[in-house]
Amino acid sequence: MRLWRYCLAGLLFNWAAFVFWTVLPIRAVEFNASSTQLALLQTASSIVYVLNSLFSGGLSDRISRALLARVSVVIAVAACVLTIRSGSLGALFLIVPLMGFACSVYWPSIQGALGAEAGAARLEKALGWFNVSWSIGKTLGFVMGGWLIAAHSSNRTLWMAAGSALPVLLLYPRDQSARPEETHPTGAADRAVFRTLGYIANFLAFGVGNVFQNQFIKYLESSAIVSRWDRPLFFGVFLGAIYAAQTLIFVVLQRNAAWTYRRALLYGCQLLCGGAAIGTTFLTNDWTVLAAGAVVGVGLGFANASSIYYSLHGPSDHGKYAGLHEAVLGAGSFLAPLAGGALADLSHDLRMPYWLAGGAMIAATALEEAVYRRRSRS
């Protein structure tokens, strides 16, 4: 199969997207955005992302995934260019839904294509390296985005993001017929219940990740953590620590499928992630904060790998379940920052978003176990 092309296309698209998302809150803060407004920016994009993922995932099972992916790249580039031209916070609210739409078309299409082409027997290996690739793109997008803004300007950084996405138009593989249907040793009922557990965990994991992505730049304004750092640079490096750890987890998980269908591992990673998210607000040393970010990344990586694996580990409807996976994580991406940002403004305490998201990640393990036991009995 043409795995390297899927991997490189995922890496470059995510690099461009997360350079964009590194610039966006910094640009919004320049327009004096509050914590709630920062969260509403994420919401404006994510609502489009969630709703359209449910539609585009199923659509990609019926029409050309290559066409859908290429159209989404053009829209993402347009969002970068329009952000360069923006002159107000209101303009940003009009632009961000374009990026949400682009991503909601791109990811169900490429993941559905990969799942169909790899087949169940090779899924963990193909999906593992694909996860590594897009996660490297996300990590570099945050780290290099922060560095480029500090070294140059947000506009130049966005031009680089737009230019980096364009090669995907050529790299993305042509459509290919799915592999013949294979036997699946895991029963449909087990796949369904673990898919549900994965969706719950990933919903909350993306909530945690996006609270940091969306709100942490505001938290750093009142923190002594960055006394030795340029603030945008530390913001990028911190997010890079989260997603570098996520990438390493993907490298480990692609080695075999021994981690699948083991809920204790999922719960343990959730507890680590939630605890580290809460613990970050009690730390003042820059290096310990970065270490806590890496622990958060371990939990994010395991939850995400679980959700997409159980979505694609089946004989058919790969685009449909990839779209559902993306819709669920998209909902977590905006609900946690929105609720956390509003709570921070109401309480005048910038730690509240991390306590809320981390606490929910921990508490959800009990909900997931209850769901598992109920589904198992039925």
* Model pLDDT, residue 2: 82
For each of the domains in the chain, give its residue range(s) and CATH number, in order of start: 3-170+186-377 (1.20.1250.20)
Closest CA to 187 of 317, 54, 314: 314
CA dist 368 to 194, 211, 329, 373, 376, Å?
Answer: 10, 22, 16, 9, 12
Could you read off the pLDDT of 308-333 as tens digits, one per residue? 899 888 766 778 888 899 999 989 88
Q: Which residues contact 77 (CB under 8 A, 6 or more apart)?
A: 16, 162, 165, 166
DSSP 280: G
Could you read off the pLDDT of 134-148 as tens digits, one per residue? 889 988 887 788 788
* 124 neighbors 256 (Cβ within 8 angstroms): yes
Task: Look at the alpha carbons of 342, 40, 327, 141 in this order and tell me if their dihedral is positive or negative.
Answer: negative
* 138 neighbors 244 (Cβ within 8 angstroms): no
**Given phi > 0 = left and psi -120 to 50 = alpha, else beta, which region is 317?**
left
Q: Which residues contact 315 (CB under 8 A, 6 or more apart)?
A: 120, 181, 182, 184
Indicate the pTM of the whole model: 0.81
Angle, CA 233 vertex, CA 157 and CA 271 arms, to 5° = 115
Distance, CA of 257 to CA of 171 (rounded, Å):
29
**Which band of pLDDT confidence, cut at 50, 70 and 90, is reported for residue 182?**
low
3-class secondary structure, 261: coil
* Model pLDDT, residue 311: 87
Please check the confidence at residue 275 and state whether its pLDDT lies above 70. Answer: yes
Could you read off the pLDDT of 352-373 as tens digits, one per residue? 999 999 999 999 999 999 999 9
**Given phi > 0 = left and psi -120 to 50 = alpha, else beta, which region is 261?**
left
* Model pLDDT, residue 167: 94
**Given phi > 0 = left and psi -120 to 50 = alpha, else beta, which region is 101?**
alpha
**Which band of pLDDT confidence, cut at 50, 70 and 90, is reported for residue 176?**
confident
Distance, CA of 180 to CA of 188 (rounded, Å):
18
Please check the confidence at residue 305 and state whether its pLDDT lies above 80. Answer: yes
Listed range (23-32, 160-169, 203-212, 274-283) with the worst mean pLDDT: 23-32
Distance, CA of 46 to CA of 335 (rounded, Å):
9
Q: Residue 311 corresponds to which tokens in the numbers above?
A: 């979505």
Distance, CA of 176 to CA of 349 (rounded, Å):
52
CA dist 76 to 116, 212, 316, Å?
Answer: 25, 23, 29
* Model pLDDT, residue 242: 93
pLDDT over 90, % of the chain:
46
* Model pLDDT, residue 378: 67
Q: Residue 224 corresponds to which tokens in the numbers above?
A: 């002594």
Distance, CA of 5 to CA of 12 (rounded, Å):
11
Distance, CA of 250 to CA of 267 (rounded, Å):
17
Q: What is the mean pLDDT of residues 183-201?
A: 79
